[in-house]
Amino acid sequence: MKALMRHRLFWPIVALLALVAVNTIARPQFIKITLRDGQLYGALIDIMRNCAPLMLVALGMTIVIATRGIDLSVGAVMAVSGAVALTIIDGSSDPNNLGTVLVAIVVAIFAALILGTFNGVLVARLGIQPIVATLVLMLAGRGVALLITGGFITTVNSDPFSYLATGYLVGVPFAFIIALIAIVLLALFERRTALGMLTESVGINPEASRLAGVRSRGIIFSAYMLSGLLAGVAGLIYSANIRAADANSAGLFIELYAILAVVLGGTSLMGGKFSIAGTVIGVLIIETLDSTILFLGVSSAQSPVFFALVVVLVVIVQSPRLRTFRRRRRADVVPPPVSTPEKVEAGA
């Protein structure tokens, strides 16, 4: 039991289960999943479908954060990829043609990859702080998206494209399947090859891993490319869902929610050890909380207050100060000898 409690995913899972339990007690139909016309329906299925863009973005963010970085530009990349795809579909003679949609998707993802590469160059080649480097694209990206759509909100009616967000495959929302594929592929690449370990080593000590022969630049570079790629796919799902490319509101604040999901999942923003499963749980917590807040009748505009409280709670629980305090109470001895001057000062 103690070993179980000490597992780093213990508290995130408890939080998720508690949220589900509260919802189920408040409205029993929350947990119910019904099968209609070969498609699954229910509040949980809605959460699965709606979480797809955030899930993709948060997965990319996890790898970037593991390298001690951060990617603020994901929301802007989403806006660009949606704008590119819808402009191509809108400009074609037959928006319902599967070929057109495929071309649009490929070009949009390619555009997102270019943006990811741009971030990678700034961080890995030029050695600029990740926050600053990705801030450039966060500012400029939405401008680019607005230019692509000509300043309008491009709307299209394309059934193959909408399928990305609203379609079902063997009864499961297609968007969730995309997210699932991304999770599985990422887990395989990071955990069944040495890539994950190398990524963690770069995050823990870039200089030492470079001396040990790890090609840290390449690993950091590819992390930003991956983040751009996943944000591009997320942008496609988002724009397919609303059937429009809205350069101003597509992916607005998603970088913040993605970072929150990563932190909720137990990955430290200081880089190093990361947990893909933790991020998945973090995303599910956020989406469930969001649905709970909506159910409570709180305007969605006011929901940030709840998220702020969650952030504060989580960071305080994770903070070293509280941990030493707990350890001191448990062991009832003087705290470990790692007391830095910082703590002395803070305690004074």
Partner 1 sequence: MSTLQATQTRTAFGRANDRFLSRHASMVPSFAAVAVLLVLLVAAQLYFGNFVTPRNMSALLLDNAYLMVIAVGMTFVILTAGIDLSVGSVMAFTGILLATFLSNGLPTVVAVPLILAAGAAIGLLIGILVQYFNVQPFIASLAGLFLARGLAFVVSLQSIRVEDDSLLWLQSTRFTIGNWYITPTGIIALLSVVVGALVLQYTRFGRTIYAVGGNEQSARLMGLKVGRTKILVYVISGTLAGVAGVILTAYSGAGYPRNGIGTELDAIAAVVIGGTLLSGGRGYVLGSMVGVFVYGTIKAIISFMGAEQSWMQIIIGALLLLFILIQRFIVSRSERRE
Q: List residues near partner 1 by CB under 8 A.
A: 70, 122, 126-129, 131-133, 135-147, 151, 247, 252, 256, 259-260, 263, 269-270, 299, 301-309, 311-312, 315-316, 319-322, 341-342, 345-346
- Smaller CB distance to partner 1: residue 45 or 144? 144
Kindly report the number of other CB atoms within 10 A of residue 11's CB atom: 16
DSSP output for 216-262: HHHHHHHHHHHHHHHHHHHHHHHHHHHTEE-TTTTTTTHHHHHHHHH
Q: How far, in Å, CA of 267 to CA of 286, rounded?
A: 16
- The b/e string for 32-69 (b: 16+ C-beta within 10 A; e otherwise) is eeeeeeeebeebbbebbbbbbbbbbbbbbbbbbbbbbb
Q: How far, in Å, CA of 124 to CA of 126, rounded?
A: 6
- Smaller CB distance to partner 1: residue 63 or 237? 63
Least distance in angstroms from the C-beta of 301 to partner 1? 4
Query: DSSP alpha helices (H): ranges in the chain?
Result: 2-6, 10-26, 43-50, 52-66, 74-91, 98-120, 130-148, 159-166, 174-191, 195-204, 206-211, 216-242, 254-264, 276-295, 304-318, 320-331, 341-347
Written as six digits, the tokens of 234 are 């997320």
- Smaller CB distance to partner 1: residue 269 or 331? 269
Least distance in angstroms from the C-beta of 256 to partner 1? 6
Least distance in angstroms from the C-beta of 131 to partner 1? 7
Least distance in angstroms from the C-beta of 137 to partner 1? 7
Distances (CA, A) of 159 to 87, 100, 232, 325: 15, 12, 20, 57
- Smaller CB distance to partner 1: residue 96 or 249? 249
- Smaller CB distance to partner 1: residue 4 or 301? 301
For residue 274, the SS3 value is coil
- Smaller CB distance to partner 1: residue 91 or 143? 143
- Smaller CB distance to partner 1: residue 102 or 270? 270
Least distance in angstroms from the C-beta of 151 to partner 1? 5
For residues 177 and 45, the answer to whether their CB atoms sit within 8 Å is no
Least distance in angstroms from the C-beta of 178 to partner 1? 27
- Smaller CB distance to partner 1: residue 195 or 310? 310
Least distance in angstroms from the C-beta of 141 to partner 1? 8
Q: How far, in Å, CA of 15 to CA of 17, rounded?
A: 6
Q: Which residues pair with 303 in a beta bridge?
A: none
Q: Which residues pair with 36 in a beta bridge?
A: 39
Q: How far, in Å, CA of 192 to CA of 190, rounded?
A: 6
- Smaller CB distance to partner 1: residue 141 or 196? 141
Q: Which residues pair with 155 in a beta bridge?
A: 244
For residues 113 and 228, the answer to whether their CB atoms sit within 8 Å is yes
Specify burial of residue 135 (Cβ count, 10 A radius: 0-12, 13-18, 19+). Answer: middle
Least distance in angstroms from the C-beta of 163 to partner 1? 30
Least distance in angstroms from the C-beta of 199 to partner 1? 20
